[in-house]
Structure 1
Amino acid sequence: MWESIVEVDQDIFRWINGLAIGKFKSFWLFVTHIENWFLLYIFFFFLLYKSFKKPVSFIAMTAVPLVVFITLSLTNLVKNGVERLRPNNEPVLMDSIQILLKPGNFSFWSGHSAVSFAVTTFVVLALRSKGMSKWIFLFYIWPTTFALSRIFVGVHYPADITVGMLVGILLGWLCSLIFFKIASRLQYAT
């Protein structure tokens, strides 16, 4: 059973990986690097700062790197426990896929997917609590594009991306619950 799941995951990966790389290599390479999203993080911090009164705004902004740290720590723990080879390191796939990056660590689950969905979920839930609900879900375009880029550059399977997304959403939600408890205590204390 497990072998057939892995085979389907590899088949879906081959299909997605081969879709649009040719003309869009530079786009996917740009999208897949976290440092290219720096301005988006600044925008998130700005929105959190403007949406909450002090000191809650500072706690909200501090929560974002904490969400990243927690998500990356759990991701690395699981990656090193599962030890699934990345597609770019899988001998069965190497000759039949397009590889734009060659990281050497393990694949399951995607840290890019987990972190981007965790941060986005935290920010969306925090801002939604302040009445920004009509357009706020458009922020999910970022982690979706960011996560898909990992398939297009040849370093993650669809299952890696999907599980990373689910873990990220869960961790972002849990961190937002903790943030709301802290924020409500601070508002009652002042």
Structure 2
Amino acid sequence: MEEVVLEDKRVFLFLNNLGDTPFDQFWIMISGTWIWIPLYIIFLYLLYKNYKLRTLLYILLFIAIGVTISDQVSGIFKYGVARLRPCHDPSLQDHMRIVKCGGQFGFYSAHASNTFFLASYLCLLLKDKLKWFPYFLFFWASVVSYSRIYLGVHFPIDILVGATVGTLLGFVFSLLAQKVIRKQASEVGFKS
């Protein structure tokens, strides 16, 4: 396990040191929440165009529950595992770029978990209707996740575990949503 942690630190330092001061504000923005509101509105519009209103409400409910679970489980792990964020790790502070620093613990990334949850959930609900959409979603989730390494707040393993957990949760919640969609379609006699 010690070798894995050392390799994780090496990869982190490589990726973190790719950054340069002129790009810091861009990556802070990418890592933010408010910048993505227009994108979330586009997601909502795409769902609205492809599903009936009643079905859409269930889809949105599953998104709200799924993101909440994704976010809260990462918080439980942060304090359960208690792995210091890179920006709080004394062995790294002289070798890394610290652009921003969050709370003390960082395993695993809620940003990665939440964005990959949305990516996998929406991908499975809209992939048949928009062939290009899955590629865009996972690219977006990857860029947001990388921003956390760039800023110095997460190790690569934090990102990989967050992305894995988020993807699995997105898959499970999309299956639940599809089950509700099929049930509604059979009850009402129409297809969503």
TM class by smaller structure? over 0.9
Matched-pair contact (CA < 8 Å) for 2:16–2:150: yes
Alignment partners' CA distance in 2, 1:136 and 1:118? 12
Structure 2 CA distance for aligned equivalents of residues 23 and 81 of structure 1: 36
Report the alpha carbon displacement of residue 58 of structure 1 after superposing the two structures with TM: 1.5
Are residues 1:75 and 2:74 paired?
yes
Normalising to structure 2: TM-score of the pair? 0.93
Deviations 1:152-185 (A, max 9, x none): 0000000100111111111100000000111111
TM-score (norm 1): 0.94
Aligned residue runs from structure 1 range 45-84, under 5 A: 45-84=44-83
Distance 1:22 1:170 in 2: 35
Farther-moved stretch of structure 1 (18-27 vs 83-92): 18-27
Aligned residue runs from structure 1 range 41-190, under 5 A? 41-129=40-128, 131-190=129-188
3-state SS of 1:20 partner: coil
Displacement of 1:151 in angstroms is 0.3
CA distance in 1, matches of 2:62, 2:43: 12
User: Structure 1: how far apart are the matches of 2:60 and 2:42?
Assistant: 11
Structure 1 residue 74: Cα displacement: 1.2
Does 2:38 correspond to 1:39?
yes
- Name the stretch that deviates more: 9-18 or 53-62: 53-62
Partner SS state of residue 108, structure 1 = coil
Equivalent residues of 1:49, 1:61 under 8 A apart: no
Q: For the Cα contact (< 8 Å) 1:72–1:115, is it kept in 2? A: yes
Aligned equivalents of 1:126 and 1:141: distance in 2?
A: 17
Is the Cα–Cα contact under 8 Å of residues 125 and 173 in structure 1 kept in the other structure?
A: yes
Task: Report sequence identity in percent.
Answer: 32
- Tell me by how many angstroms 1:83 deviates: 0.7
SS of 1:27's equivalent in the other structure is: helix
Unaligned runs of 5+ in 2: none
Q: How many residues align?
A: 188
Tell me the CA shift for residue 20 of structure 1.
2.4
CA contact (8 A) 2:88 2:104 kept: no
Q: Does the CA contact (< 8 Å) of 2:67 and 2:114 recur in 1?
A: yes
Q: Judge conservation of contact 2:107–2:158 (CA < 8 Å) in 1.
A: yes
Range with bigger deviation, 144-153 or 27-36: 27-36
